[in-house]
Structure 1
Amino acid sequence: MPGTFFGLEIARRGLSTHRTAMDITGHNVANANTPGYTRQEAVIAATDPYANPTLGSRLLPGQLGTGVEATMIRRIKNEYLDVQARDSISSREYWQVQEEIFGRIEAVFPEPVASGIASTLTRFFNTWHDLNNTPQDPGVKAAVAETGGELATMMREAYQQLEDISGSILKVGSDGNVTGGQLKDQVDAVNEILRQIRELTESIKRVYAQGNQPNDLLDRRDLLLDRLAEYGPVSVTYLTDGGKPTGEIALTFFGVDVRAADVTVGLKLDGAQSSLLQIGGKKVPLTGYPGKAGSLAGLEETRLRIAGYMESFNKLSEALRDAVNEALEQEFFTPLSSLKDGNFAVKSDILSNPSTIKGERALYVARLATIGQADLDGATFGEYFHALLADIGARSGSASNMAGTHRAVAEQVESLRQSVSGVNLDEELSRLIQYQYGYQASARVLATIDEMLDYLINRTG
């Protein structure tokens, strides 16, 4: 049967276990506001009971308890919530980046205002009506030239701003290679995140191989996986060996395995000038991947929209140039110019000498305001421009609404995840008091045994 000193070991185990539990609780409290931190707890279990071998018994655990131990430090984690959270993060970022870019696009067209393109276009045709009433009036001719120059300038500047926004998303060099922009910056960020995930995975595998629990390393990797989900769809599978975790994960980005160190994410342009990712040896079109997920796809979707708006705006300027020049039977807007060329303007000779304008043709130009143009699919200049504005406004509103909805969803899912994995200070302080009492009680047992041994050794005999 157990010896006299047996109780000392039980008390020692109690002290050690409760001190470990208090240390873990303190670690939780210290990281209450650390992004990505997952609450930890000590798994406390009774140690194997004492075996009392005798001549007629087998050497098996008996009934006399031997104390307590912290068998492991467990992360409180729900991996199914992680999957849902990453999906919601990807959807949120897809719409949120579009909301941001469309806000910049709308700022290019501050309509309706008295000094906007639509009102200037109306005023431009009105000056031709005025010129028709007084065909030889030099003042009215000057107003026609001035208003035309103002309209051309506003259209050039608006087109240039759209081009700048598009360039901020993706900048392409003269050789056709990607040189900058948000898309390139985000692809670089993805490669850096993948590098860190691979390094952490190797460290995690080594800790598991030694029989330990790499909780804080796992938190850091999960936080990186959340960040990766901001850029595109992520799929994570945690691999095991005989039911035991190994630390290895099966990780895909846009459906492509990205675990290997030689797999990098690149950005290319296809023949249609739309962007695609080159992940390892596979090409993934950003606008063709199933589902709407991640800021990379959101940026590309918006960039293509901007390209369409620029083409429509350029189409409007070319139709205006051709129609006015033809009706006036005179080169009013610079021949062969367009917004795409960057030199759409009233002819310099007319600006310097407005008296050369053919006033007798003014009515034919004025009528263009209400005549549908074949080059504009039968719409008038005003109708075509307002349709362009309506499309921008509708898509901007849709992006804002969807971004708001997915932000709310992401916040709700994150709230659910934090309810499981987050640190609740009230709960941790309650546990701290509980472990403190356990520690004090174990210390009291130790002191009592010490008194008994002192009496037995020093006071008897």
Structure 2
Amino acid sequence: MSGLYSTLNVAIRGMNSQQTAIDVTSHNIANANTDGYSRQRALMETTRPSTTSTGQLGTGVQVSSISRIRDTYLDYQVRTENGTMGLYQGREKFLTEVQSIFNEVSETGVSSMLSEVFKSWSSLSTSPESSNTRTVVAQKSKALTDQLNSTYNQLSKLKVNCQDVIQKDVVDINGMLDQINDLNQQVIGVKVGGNEPNDLMDKRDLLVDQLSSKFGITIDKKTLAGEDLKATDNVGGADPTKDLYLVKSNPNDAVSRFSYVSTIVPKIVPPATVASQKPGEAGSYDVTYYKNGDTSTDANKVTMTMDLTPEQYDSLDQGRVILADKKGYAIDKNGIRLAGNDSNKNPIPLTDISGSAIATGTSYELFEPKTGELNGYQSVQTDIDTYISDLNNMAKAIAYSVNAVHSGESDADKDTRKFFVNSTDGKEEEITAGNIAVNGDILNNVMLINAGKGSTPEAYDGSRALAISKLKDVKLNIQGIGTKTTRADLLKVNTFSNDTTLGVMMVNSTSDGMTISGDFTDIINRIADKTQYAQKTVTNNTTLLAGLEESRTSISGVSLDEEMANLIQFQHAYAANAKIISTVDELLDLIVNGLKK
């Protein structure tokens, strides 16, 4: 009797185990199209045998665990390539827009307009007495300045758009980190109960995959399947010897988050109505950031006053992401909260960026990863600033050289009839691509254009107009122009002397200079090179990631054919165990009821 009951128990265990395997297979089939799902397997093992006079006798089977099939090395490779892909996708997106802004494939591009301007001056030299040729010079020049203004403004708007994307990324990243932290704690709780939290770990891994496209991450596996998640390659002011923990198994609140810097405004000190310095210059700034990047309410707004050098201003302006504690308050490299109140509502002393204690500054830590979308958006802002600066330098070179020949003066202060001015105050100082304009007096009266040798516009020999047209071939020291460079500074390098052939003062070439059109072509070529490199890298990484994902899917993905084959196998095993139970039932009936006969 004990033998039959033992056989009955073996069959029951077998049925239960096969039922569990069928449940797992059913779960796999149901999640065949679920993102991030890893196929699961019921791992079976023999139960403890019983000892008989003839030796050990098996007692059946049991499911030891339900585990997911996952290759952690492939996960690491995918996440590394996700970071590279995110970096160059971000760069490609905005660099392609930069190319569209310059619009050099059309007749309305800056290159074409530059050529038209110099041609109009050449035409004026042959008909200096004609108001029509003078009008063409004025209008062609105005079209050029309008295009430079438009290009400058569009680049500036594109930079703002890029910063908006960074802000949205900061919100998304903080949200993902909070979700990963919650899942981490749930995983640990399930493991403490002795079970396998497969589905929870799949959700966590999917979020980590998505996060890896934002910036580089490192994962430390902990006991009970908990994970510590760190940011890698954090440069900027952060101490490279210290780990930047974003998720921790224990304690789970000693972690960093990110906040977004919305504005960097020169500080106005009463009774002044304007700041003493312009954006980008060394000085004191009011820096406003939103905790955790959430700009939906002013309750998240925090304003810090800090002293910045030009380099620090550019770094903060282009980076925009600062380290914060879990509540979103800015922290220094030691994790100490800044620019607000601590948990005891006590004001925190302010320090400058170097850490020295002063009354009007705040220490902060920029987050500047070396990979991922954030790096792509941060680095492309540097590119945009460079292109804007290059355009500004070119605008200065155009204005300074044309104005000098037009007036015969190397000193802008002595020039009473400038051809190009800045639209803000009608002067030559602080000309940029964004404000360069043709002198309004000349637009209203084209006969004020100086075309001949004489000092008055009425000199109709055309020599001065011809000299200006020849500026297209003059190599100017454009690469040496900066924000403070004046006309006199440029002409010290290029020199300004009398052209004996034309009889007017002329700007001379410098051996290491560039023509205006050559300088602009160089800008366009650099944009094209960077854009093409980003596009090629995205294409290559798409192929590489596809291969890695295919490898990972072959291991972790659900194959419906395989699952159906397994289902049939488990079905037959279940039926066979049921048959054993039926057979034992018949034997028991024979033994019990057969004795009556």
TM-score, length-normalised on structure 2?
0.70
2:124 corresponds to 1:131: yes
Unaligned runs of 5+ in 2: 233-242, 265-307, 326-331, 334-363, 408-416, 422-426, 453-463, 481-512
Match of 2:339 in 1: none
Pairing 1:33-432 to 2, within 5 Å after superposition: 33-52=33-52, 63-170=56-163, 181-240=164-223, 246-254=224-232, 255-259=243-247, 260-261=252-253, 262-267=255-260, 271-274=312-315, 275=319, 277-278=322-323, 280=325, 281-282=332-333, 292-329=370-407, 330-334=417-421, 335-336=427-428, 340=432, 342-360=434-452, 361-377=464-480, 378-432=513-567
Deviation of 1:219 after TM superposition, in Å, equals 0.4
Deviation of 1:345 after TM superposition, in Å, equals 1.5
After alignment, is 19-28 or 6-15 more displaced? Answer: 6-15
TM-score, length-normalised on structure 1?
0.89
Deviation of 1:403 after TM superposition, in Å, equals 1.8
Aligned residues of 1:319 and 1:376 also touching (Cα < 8 A)? no
Q: What secondary structure, in the 3-state scheme, does the structure 2 residue paired with 1:273 have?
A: helix
Q: What secondary structure, in the 3-state scheme, does the structure 1 residue paired with 2:570 have?
A: helix
Deviation of 1:6 after TM superposition, in Å, equals 2.2
CA distance in 1, matches of 2:226, 2:63: 26
Unaligned runs of 5+ in 1: 171-180, 241-245
CA distance in 2, matches of 1:224, 1:414: 16
Q: What secondary structure, in the 3-state scheme, does the structure 1 residue paired with 2:159 have?
A: helix
Q: What secondary structure, in the 3-state scheme, does the structure 2 residue paired with 1:45 have?
A: strand
1:434 aligned to which of 569, 572, 582: 569
CA RMSD of aligned residues (A): 2.1
Aligned residues of 1:152 and 1:346 also touching (Cα < 8 A)? yes
Instruction: Return closer, same or farther for 1:193/1:239 CA change in 2, 3 Å cut-off.
Output: same
Deviation of 1:453 after TM superposition, in Å, equals 2.1
CA distance in 2, matches of 1:286, 1:386: 35
Match of 1:176 in 2: none
After alignment, is 247-256 or 435-444 more displaced? Answer: 247-256
CA distance in 2, matches of 1:286, 1:398: 25
Deviation of 1:31 after TM superposition, in Å, equals 1.0
Aligned residues of 2:188 and 2:226 also touching (Cα < 8 A)? yes
After alignment, is 326-335 or 207-216 more displaced? Answer: 326-335
Deviation of 1:435 after TM superposition, in Å, equals 0.5
Letter of the structure 2 residue corresponding to residue 331 of structure 1? K
1:377-402 alpha-carbon deviations (Å, 9 max, x no partner): 52111011001111101111111112
CA distance in 2, matches of 1:168, 1:207: 43
Deviation of 1:432 after TM superposition, in Å, equals 0.8
Aligned residues of 2:393 and 2:432 also touching (Cα < 8 A)? no
Q: What secondary structure, in the 3-state scheme, does the structure 1 residue paired with 2:50 have?
A: coil
Q: What secondary structure, in the 3-state scheme, does the structure 2 residue paired with 1:258 have?
A: strand
Match of 1:2 in 2: 2
CA distance in 1, matches of 2:587, 2:365: 76
Task: Tell me which stretches of 4 or more aligned residues in structure 1 moved more than 4 Å.
Answer: 267-270, 283-287, 337-341
CA distance in 2, matches of 1:354, 1:2: 118
CA distance in 2, matches of 1:286, 1:104: 25
1:131-161 alpha-carbon deviations (Å, 9 max, x no partner): 0100011111111111111111111111111
CA distance in 1, matches of 2:575, 2:59: 18
By relative contact order (CA 8 Å, sep 6+), the higher-ranking structure is 1
- Give the percent of matched residue pairs that are identical in Structure 1 and Structure 2: 31
Instruction: Return closer, same or farther for 1:431/1:354 CA change in 2, 3 Å cut-off.
Output: same
CA distance in 2, matches of 1:431, 1:182: 47
CA distance in 1, matches of 2:116, 2:134: 14
* Number of aligned positions between the proteins: 436
Letter of the structure 2 residue corresponding to residue 162 of structure 1? L
Deviation of 1:119 after TM superposition, in Å, equals 0.8
Aligned residues of 1:286 and 1:297 also touching (Cα < 8 A)? no
Deviation of 1:420 after TM superposition, in Å, equals 1.3
Deviation of 1:73 after TM superposition, in Å, equals 0.1
Aligned residues of 1:337 and 1:343 also touching (Cα < 8 A)? no
Instruction: Return closer, same or farther for 1:286/1:107 CA change in 2, 3 Å cut-off.
Output: farther
Aligned residues of 1:314 and 1:338 also touching (Cα < 8 A)? no
CA distance in 2, matches of 1:293, 1:384: 31
Letter of the structure 2 residue corresponding to residue 132 of structure 1? S
Aligned residues of 2:256 and 2:324 also touching (Cα < 8 A)? yes
Aligned residues of 1:286 and 1:300 also touching (Cα < 8 A)? no
Match of 1:454 in 2: 589
Aligned residues of 1:14 and 1:69 also touching (Cα < 8 A)? yes
1:312-344 alpha-carbon deviations (Å, 9 max, x no partner): 101111221122122111322222376758432
Q: What secondary structure, in the 3-state scheme, does the structure 2 residue paired with 1:423 have?
A: coil
Letter of the structure 2 residue corresponding to residue 157 of structure 1? S
Aligned residues of 1:286 and 1:296 also touching (Cα < 8 A)? no
Deviation of 1:263 after TM superposition, in Å, equals 2.1
CA distance in 1, matches of 2:432, 2:206: 44
